[in-house]
Structure 1
């Protein structure tokens, strides 16, 4: 947890620690989200300490006004924080204050009057089918060591061929591969089963046959040079190499392969509900953005091909 000792008394520090435990054990948020929430609250506490001119106590938090929170949000906006990040900051603060209210520590209405910043809707950037295939296939040409080339190809194949997030792909264990479908643990610890098409299964098998490391049944199969779990950063760097070699746009990231998976399935007549299950989306509305992606691609083709386009 980020150090807030300089700005808080013991009671507040204790409540922050209990809240963090709840985020991990009860709400089971992702490590990245927990880290961001911790950072957001720490920055808020530091701001309050300067804003009120003293140590932040439970009484300080109970006396918060909407003006105090708006001042903090304005300060974060002045630091060039975007609307999406500001919305996350507000979510973190609301989570913490709801926790305090459930614990019977204090009740504050100030946060309820603050509107969540509007987040501009942006469509996922999908690659074409040819670009996705070429990006995965060309991995071999960029890496002289066969087992590393096979490893990176298998990870990218899971992103495009199974629609996995990069964190989900890197967490795959031998046990997850034992059934006909792949067992995936997604956000919030939610488990889903994803079918593996033959090329993806073959890419994984090839990597495992070449890899010098043989992890235990419950350990991630993808390993770094020294045998430790593979860092997402290495796959992101590989994607950066592929973009340069193939002349792909900056949006061609490992996550774009997941977007491409959904867009291409939908374009081939895939059922939206089935795609929702494959992606591990909690809400169908999250998946429905791909209908806009596919429509935009259709309109682009129409404009390019129609004689009066």
Structure 2
């Protein structure tokens, strides 16, 4: 749903607005949050302050610190009335808690009400992996040779997608690699920087290294060691949207659904490893998940596939089991 207050400025007195600006800058600069996350947190705070303005008058820092649980519950109820889902409400609470912690660090006091309000329960969405054949096809530049694009660009896209499927990288991690750190043949592992600026080492399959080497051999642009490994058509940094667009184009030719996205290749990496008896804790480390519970979602995907296969093939599937004859 669109933001119901897309251009309304933040209400509040000067100290509150100054604190909000400083908090936002801290999220981006010191905590290195993604720009989209910072923007979402800013939007959630603005909506909350607008709500307070309507209920209690122009908000101030003392107003926020003195909030009661009922004030927060009223805000959540109002957002529910605007047809906002549980995930967005949970993010809104996370943003408000982040702002409250900032106020506390700055010596303004503790917003005790936030500790008394529970986050809404949200059913976690299951990852949507691709079949093995579809995942392999997306990483094969040869299968897209008929596209009206330069061969080196097809090789570049194939190398990026090979890193997503063959190493389980996020698209930001793959595009964040420098030329110096290119995983080439003979390389056993590559170090990537994930969420929260956390580095991890990921094994490199020979087929992935070969795809990167083929791209480098064909790339017409000079690639300085400290510069990005993957570049756009004019030699500048490669945008994730270009890779997303390339996958969207390939979907039609391969007969894939809209769930076939670059990130689905990362899901496929984890699900296919698990199906081959991969150890869950090792998969967590490969993916860079902070919590094992996130990785455990893939066990549900695998179990779901087994049940689907059972329903489709087992002679007893979907049929009532007859009672045992006790005579």
**Do the two structures share a fold, i.e. TM-score over 0.5?**
yes
The aligned residue for residue 249 of structure 1 is 257
- Kept in 1: contact 2:164–2:265 (CA 8 A): yes
Tell me how far 1:3 sits from its aligned partner: 9.0
1:240 is displaced (CA, Å) by 1.6
Displacement of 1:107: 2.2
Return the offset for 1:281.
0.8
Deviation of 1:218 (Å): 2.4
Which structure 1 residue ranges, 5 or more long, are not aligned?
A: none
Specify the structure having the higher radius of gyration (Cα). 2
Name the CA distance, whole Å, in 2 between partners of 1:212 and 1:76: 52
Call closer, same or farther: CA 1:213–1:75 in 2, change over 3 Å: farther
- In structure 2, runs of 5+ residues without a counterpart are 1-5, 318-327
**Is the CA contact 1:126–1:259 (under 8 Å) kept in the aligned structure 2?**
yes
Q: TM-score, normalised by structure 1?
A: 0.91
- In structure 2, the partner of 1:135 is 138
- Please show how residues 113-132 of structure 1 align to structure 2 within 5 Å: 113-132=116-135
- Corresponding residue for 1:91? 94
Distance 1:4 1:189, change over 3 A: farther
What is the match of residue 234 of structure 1?
242
TM-aligned CA distance change 1:159 to 1:64, over 3 Å: same
Aligned to 1:300: 308
CA distance in structure 1 between the aligned counterparts of 2:179 and 2:31, rounded to whole angstroms? 27
CA distance, structure 2, for counterparts of residue 46 and residue 224 of structure 1? 42
Q: TM-score if structure 2 supplies the norm length?
A: 0.86
Kindly tell me the number of residue pairs found equivalent between the two proteins: 307
Superposition map of 1:1-309 within 5 A? 7-54=11-58, 56-137=59-140, 138-177=143-182, 180-309=188-317
> Equivalents in 2 of 1:223, 1:184: separation in Å?
17
Alpha carbons of structure 1 residues 6 and 96: separation in structure 2 relative to 1, 3 Å: closer
RMSD, aligned α-carbons = 2.2
Rounded to whole Å, the distance in 1 between the matches of 2:104 and 2:24 is: 15
What is the rounded CA distance, in whole Å, between the counterparts of 2:35 and 2:144 in structure 1? Answer: 29
1:67 shift after superposition: 2.9
2:11–2:46 Cα contact (<8 Å) kept? no
